[in-house]
């Protein structure tokens, strides 16, 4: 089977659910828009224009470099329910992909009283939401190519009338052994897989300003716990998540879990990524009727958004074999180890009609094919994945189009990178129009 290339927006819907005794419960939903760091809307917000051109060798090389340099640690998910309205951030549910800030997706959140806004990175690969706070080491702003200085807000518990400290005897305090007494401020420290990348501080509680995700939205304020990040190191000082990180994992410390425990939403959320770098996030989204579902494969120590794939089909050639993979919004590409990588890539290569280009050392992709400058149409093998439970998920446009203007070279590449360890389905590898993932229950 083959598919003709087309450039159209693709949406990935990630529903995180938690179920009890075979039943799923739901509440309302809240939403936010988000944006990729290199997207045009974010360039406008930050006045940053000295970025790699989308589709260039430099663009995809930078994405892969960021993946290697800034791979975060945990993952998580949660449940369907009744008919309360979804929630989103008070500033809107938009998200933006910001390539100059680590190729991550960002959204604008509002915290405290008086309310302060922060441009935070969204990450399903970690749990804690933290903000730069009374900083010893953090980024206070950016210099744009035009020379304009863009100042970031820095949170301080002393300037918010609704702020309070989280004591060490709180159930959310994971470093109680480091506390001198039960009433002391609860410390936190999050180490990320990138060498030397860390956020350290103490937990605070304050108001997160939300709104119902509907045409006539209503304001909803929720008291949440988050990290007052006094010291940031590594990637956080080099452009990735400089103004805070919004963890979306399964742990009790994540904001979706906190909102669900307060009864505001079901323990679920959805994220949609558009090809233009914009997107949306909605808390409490229950998905659409009839969509495919698959269970998570959970670890007891640190549960993540880990699913099991039981069959791979490339160009109509289906092979049954099982492997697990993690959905991670903080990773750009899809990384697969063997045998999955070899099975998919070699089958794709055997069916590709264009000549393979082997001199692509500047790219993270191994399988790329030459297009003529005037070529407007071409076909490539369709890729389908079957998840545990039997649900097929179609990979929309499993390729990336790459141009090298100095060389006059135009390529399309299979958008998969070989991994030596964990399998990760990244943000730039859209599987179908929506995916629903459920913890402890699934149905078709």
* Per-residue model confidence (pLDDT) at position 280: 80
Tell me: pLDDT of 69 over 50: no
For the chain, list the domains and their CATH numbers: 9-270 (2.40.70.10), 297-432 (2.40.70.10)
pLDDT tens per residue across span 198-232 = 999 999 999 999 888 777 778 889 999 999 999 99
Could you tell me which residue, 390 or 379, shows the higher pLDDT? 379
Computed over every residue of the chain, the mean pLDDT equals 74
Tell me: pLDDT of 190 over 60: yes
Q: What is the sign, positive or negative, of the torsion defined by CA atoms of 396, 398, 399, 400?
A: positive
Tell me: pLDDT of 419 over 80: yes
* Per-residue model confidence (pLDDT) at position 75: 29
Return the residue matching tokens 């790329």: 368
pLDDT tens per residue across span 154-174 = 999 999 999 999 999 998 998
20 forms bridges with which residues in the sheet? 23
For 376, list phi and psi in degrees, rounded to 5.
-105, -20
CB neighbour class for 25 (10 Å; exposed up to 12, middle 13-18, buried from 19) = middle
Please tell me what DSSP assigns to residue 362.
T
Confidence category of residue 394, pLDDT binned at 50, 70, 90? confident
Greatest Cα-to-Cα distance within the chain, rounded to the nearest angstrom: 71
| Spatial distance between the Cα atoms of 273 and 430, rounded to a whole number of angstroms | 8
Three-state SS for 217? coil
Burial 163-196 (b: 16+ CB within 10 A, else e): bebbbbeeebbbeeeebeeeebbbbbebebebee
| Spatial distance between the Cα atoms of 277 and 181, rounded to a whole number of angstroms | 47
| Spatial distance between the Cα atoms of 262 and 253, rounded to a whole number of angstroms | 13
Confidence category of residue 42, pLDDT binned at 50, 70, 90? very low
Please tell me what DSSP assigns to residue 177.
G
| Spatial distance between the Cα atoms of 208 and 115, rounded to a whole number of angstroms | 9
CB neighbour class for 198 (10 Å; exposed up to 12, middle 13-18, buried from 19) = middle
| Spatial distance between the Cα atoms of 226 and 257, rounded to a whole number of angstroms | 12
Among 278, 281, 194, CA closest to 246: 281
| Whole-structure pTM value | 0.73
In Å, what is the CA distance from 346 to each residue of 309, 338, 366? 18, 12, 10
* Per-residue model confidence (pLDDT) at position 45: 42
| Spatial distance between the Cα atoms of 51 and 66, rounded to a whole number of angstroms | 14
* Per-residue model confidence (pLDDT) at position 149: 74
Could you tell me which residue, 40 or 258, shows the higher pLDDT? 258
Confidence category of residue 428, pLDDT binned at 50, 70, 90? low
Enumerate residues 6+ apart whose C-beta is below 8 A from 265. 26, 27, 28, 29, 30, 84, 86, 87, 256, 259, 283, 284
Percent of the chain with pLDDT over 90: 25
Confidence category of residue 182, pLDDT binned at 50, 70, 90? confident
Q: Which residues belong to the active site? A: 123, 328
Q: What is the DSSP string of 258-306?
A: HHHHTTSS-S-EEEEE-TTSEEEEEET----TT--EEE----SSS--SE
pLDDT tens per residue across span 2-37 = 443 333 333 333 333 322 222 333 345 565 554 444
Confidence category of residue 52, pLDDT binned at 50, 70, 90? low
| Spatial distance between the Cα atoms of 203 and 227, rounded to a whole number of angstroms | 5
| Spatial distance between the Cα atoms of 247 and 254, rounded to a whole number of angstroms | 6
pLDDT-wise least confident of 63-72, 87-96, 132-141, 413-422: 63-72
Tell me: pLDDT of 71 over 50: no
In Å, what is the CA distance from 322 to each residue of 231, 306, 308, 436? 42, 13, 7, 19
For 218, list phi and psi in degrees, rounded to 5.
-120, 140
């Amino acid at each position: 089977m083959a598919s003709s290339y087309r450039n159209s927006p693709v949406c990935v819907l990630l529903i995180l659910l938690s179920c009890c005794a075979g039943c799923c419960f739901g509440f309302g939903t809240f939403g936010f828009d988000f944006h990729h760091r290199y997207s045009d809307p974010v360039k406008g917000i930050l006045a940053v224009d000295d970025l790699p051109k989308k589709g260039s060798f430099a663009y995809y090389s930078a994405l892969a470099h960021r993946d290697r340099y800034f791979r975060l640690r945990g993952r998580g998910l949660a449940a369907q329910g009744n008919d309360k309205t979804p929630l989103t951030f008070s500033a809107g549910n938009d998200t933006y992909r910001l390539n100059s800030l680590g190729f991550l997706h960002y959204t604008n959140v509002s915290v405290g009283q008086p309310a302060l806004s922060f441009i935070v990175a969204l990450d399903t690969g970690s749990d804690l939401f933290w903000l730069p706070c009374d900083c010893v080491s953090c980024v206070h702003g950016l210099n744009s190519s035009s020379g304009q200085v863009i100042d970031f807000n820095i949170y301080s518990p002393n300037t918010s009338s609704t702020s309070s400290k989280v004591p060490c005897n709180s159930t959310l305090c994971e470093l109680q052994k480091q506390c001198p007494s039960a009433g002391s401020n609860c410390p936190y420290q999050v180490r990320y897989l990138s060498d030397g990348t860390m956020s350290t501080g103490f937990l605070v509680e304050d108001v997160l300003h939300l709104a119902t995700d509907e045409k006539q939205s209503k304001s909803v304020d929720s008291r949440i716990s988050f990290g007052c990040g006094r010291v940031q190191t590594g990637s956080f000082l080099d452009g990735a998540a400089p103004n805070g990180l919004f963890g979306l994992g399964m742990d009790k410390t994540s904001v979706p879990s906190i909102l669900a425990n307060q009864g505001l939403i079901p323990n679920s959320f959805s994220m949609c990524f558009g090809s233009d770098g914009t997107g949306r996030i909605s808390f409490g989204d229950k998905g659409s009727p009839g969509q495919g579902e698959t269970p998570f494969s959970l670890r007891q120590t640190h549960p993540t958004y880990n699913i099991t794939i039981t069959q791979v089909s490339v160009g109509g050639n289906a092979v049954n074999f099982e492997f697990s993979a993690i959905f991670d919004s903080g990773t750009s590409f899809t990384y697969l180890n063997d045998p999955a990588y070899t099975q998919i890539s070699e089958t794709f290569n055997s069916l590709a009609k264009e000549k393979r280009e082997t001199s692509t050392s500047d790219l993270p992709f191994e399988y790329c094919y030459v297009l003529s400058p005037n070529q407007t149409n071409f076909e490539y093998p369709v890729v389908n994945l079957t998840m545990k439970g039997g649900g097929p998920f179609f990979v929309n446009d499993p390729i990336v189009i790459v141009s090298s203007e100095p060389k006059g070279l135009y390529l399309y590449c299979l958008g998969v990178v070989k991994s030596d360890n964990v399998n990760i389905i990244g943000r730039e590898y859209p599987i179908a129009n929506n995916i629903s993932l459920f913890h402890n229950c699934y149905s078709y």
